[in-house]
Amino acid sequence: MKLWRCLFLAILCCACSHYEEAHESRMPPDDESDDGTPVVRILAFGNSFAIDAMESGLYDIAQASGIRLVLGNACQGGFSLQNHWNAFVTNYSGMEYRKCVNRHYSVYTGCNLKAILANEKWDIITFQQVSYQAGFYGTYEPYLTNLINYVKDNARNPNAKYGFYMVWAYAQNATHDKYYLYNNDQMTMYNAIAAATSKAIQAHPELDYLIPTGTAIQNVRTSHIGDNLTRDGIHLSEDIGRSIAAYSWLATLFGTETMMKNTFVPHNLDENTIQLIKNAVLSAIENPYSITPQPGLE
């Protein structure tokens, strides 16, 4: 028995091949940061779409509202809900763990999801579907249910809250090889994502949050900015697109009033553009499954 326990501990310690042994000692305490400011720890079971939301402004925007974050993304490009569940079941050790502490991002490779889940006393944990499957609810289950149940049973924080991250439709001229599933049509894809997300939220009352980034993106597309929110037809542009995602997370997790009062200026955007983004996010939170046209601001 002692030998078995030693082997188990050795495997767990090696779960992240680039995880520094001293890293935990440099982390702030579970309940407060180094200067005593309360910390909110957010973990996403995500992919590159979570990178778009978390790594280009979210930390700074939250800090401007007096919120200190620790951000984690259990990430692999193109990973679906099924892939994440299979990674738990098989103890797959090929995940990338992208972590932000005190505004500094570190990337650890060769990780497994159990080690990532145990790494922090996460306050908020989110799930998402991969973009090309996001409009087909049949691809969500039983994987979303399995993930929620496993994470709830094994998270270090018994009071953790859970959320679902709604992704966006591709640009109309996108060339993704799975875009044909939506007839290469943006509105077909958006409507399918909205419908599938609605079903997921109805099926899972244990989800505390819906982050409606997909609808916020579509709302902004109705404005003078148009269909210019991606850098490759798929992933968000590093200025306006990613700012929409970051504000969507801030407003959903910390309240629309917090977002509206936030004074941070991401990516040197002008005041009108920031106001347009905030209005589009506010509309998405109020109507997460339908588009609200956004008038231009003078």
The stretch 244-253 carries a mean pLDDT of 98
The answer, yes or no, to whether residue 12 has pLDDT greater than 90, is no
The stretch 274-290 carries a mean pLDDT of 98
Query: Looking at residue 138, what is its pLDDT?
Result: 98
Pairing of strands 95-101, 104-111: antiparallel
DSSP string, 187-211: HHHHHHHHHHHHHHHHH-TT--EEE
The stretch 23-32 carries a mean pLDDT of 38
pLDDT above 90 as % of the chain: 83
The stretch 75-94 carries a mean pLDDT of 95
Query: Looking at residue 21, what is its pLDDT?
Result: 31
Tokens coding 9? 């501990």
Domains of the chain listed by start with CATH number: 32-286 (3.40.50.1110)
Name the 3-class secondary structure at 44.
Answer: strand
Our CA angle for 86, 92, 97, nearest 5°, is 105
142 upstream amide cis, omega within 30 of 0: yes
Residues 88 and 84: their CA atoms lie apart, in Å, by 6
Q: How many CB atoms are located within 10 Å of the residue 148 CB?
A: 17
The stretch 133-148 carries a mean pLDDT of 98
Burial (0-12, 13-18, 19+ Cβ within 10 Å), 40:
middle
User: pLDDT (tens digit, 9 = 90+) per residue, 208-228?
Assistant: 999 999 999 999 999 999 999
Query: Looking at residue 36, what is its pLDDT?
Result: 66
Closest CA to 125 of 146, 167, 155, 105: 155
The stretch 46-71 carries a mean pLDDT of 94
Instruction: Answer whether 212's CB lies under 8 Å from 248's CB.
Output: yes
Residues 263 and 65: their CA atoms lie apart, in Å, by 8
pLDDT above 70 as % of the chain: 87
The answer, yes or no, to whether residue 16 has pLDDT greater than 70, is no
DSSP letter for 230, please: B
Task: Name the pLDDT band for 77 (thresholds 50, 70, 90).
Answer: confident
Write down the H helix ranges in 23-80: 23-26, 48-54, 58-64
Query: Looking at residue 11, what is its pLDDT?
Result: 40
Q: What b/e sequence results for 42-53 when a residue is b if at least 16 CB atoms lie within 10 Å of its CB, and e otherwise?
A: bbbbbbbbbbbb
Query: Looking at residue 297, what is its pLDDT?
Result: 55
pLDDT mean across residues, the chain: 89
Residues 119 and 27: their CA atoms lie apart, in Å, by 10
Query: Looking at residue 142, what is its pLDDT?
Result: 98
Non-local CB neighbours of 149 within 8 Å, separated by 6+ positions: none
Residue 78, phi-psi category: left (phi > 0), alpha (psi -120 to 50), beta (remainder)? left
- C-alpha distances (whole Å) from 41 to each of 89, 108, 266 are 25, 18, 22
